[in-house]
Amino acid sequence: MDLTQLLKYQEVDAKLFQIEQKLTSSPYKKKANELAGLAKKAQAKSTELENEANNVLKEIDELKANFTQNKKSLDGLLKKDLDKFSLEELDSFTTLKSKILSNLNSLEKMLQKSAEKINNILGEFNKTKKMYDNARAQFEECKKKIQEESKVLEPEKEKIKKELQELEKHVDSKLMEEYKKRRNDNIFPVVVPLEGKNFCGRCRMELPMAAISRINDTGVITCEHCKRLVYKK
* 166 or 206: CB nearest Zn ion: 206
Instruction: Give per-residue burial for 196-225: e unless 16+ CB within 10 Å, then b.
Output: eebbbbbeeeebeeeebeebeeebbbbbee
Start-end of H helices in the chain: 4-24, 27-79, 87-168, 173-184, 209-212, 215-218
User: CA quadruple 113, 115, 118, 123: dihedral positive or negative?
Assistant: negative
Contact segment (CB under 5 A) with Zn ion among 65-73, 167-175, 196-204, 213-221 equals: 196-204
Contact segment (CB under 5 A) with Zn ion among 5-13, 18-26, 45-53, 224-232 equals: 224-232
162 binds Zn ion (CB under 5 A): no
Contact segment (CB under 5 A) with Zn ion among 7-15, 17-25, 142-150, 199-207 equals: 199-207
Number of residues interacting with Zn ion: please give it, by CB under 5 A: 6
16 binds Zn ion (CB under 5 A): no
- Quick one: which of 97, 92, 102, 98 has its CA closest to 67? 102
225 binds Zn ion (CB under 5 A): yes
- CA 191/CA 75 separation, integer angstroms: 94
User: Residue from 200, 220, 221, 229 that binds Zn ion (CB under 5 A)?
Assistant: 200
- CA 139/CA 61 separation, integer angstroms: 40
22 binds Zn ion (CB under 5 A): no
- CA 16/CA 25 separation, integer angstroms: 14
User: Residue from 203, 211, 212, 215 that binds Zn ion (CB under 5 A)?
Assistant: 203
211 binds Zn ion (CB under 5 A): no
208 binds Zn ion (CB under 5 A): no
Q: How far is the CB of 225 from Zn ion (least distance, A)?
A: 5
Task: Report the interface residues with Zn ion, using CB under 5 A.
Answer: 200, 202-203, 223, 225-226
